[in-house]
Amino acid sequence: MNYRELSDQELLSQMSTVHNVLANEEWVYRYGMNLPYRLDKFGRILNCLSWQVMSDQACDKMIRRQANEVRLVKQLSSY
């Protein structure tokens, strides 16, 4: 299966059954964070399965680290 050709919803459906390493790698390539998380346009952590914004404190250490890395890259690329 070519995960590059899947939409976000199709990748999420791959994740909802079992942990799919290849689907997660594609998600990280797109958003810099593990499935099902990404940043919204305000830089907040969004769980794309429940569509809830998560506070940094509610997420585990790895998700916070990934979110901070993505925020830093976005901040540096805006200059």
Q: How many CA atoms lie less than 13 Å away from 56 in the CB half-sphere? A: 8
CB atoms within 10 A of CB 38: 20
23 in Cβ contact with 11 (< 8 Å) = yes
pLDDT digits (tens, 9 = 90+) for 40-52: 999 999 999 999 9
* Residue of higher predicted confidence among 79 and 12: 12
Domain ranges of the chain: 3-77
pLDDT at position 25, please? 93
Mean pLDDT of the chain: 92
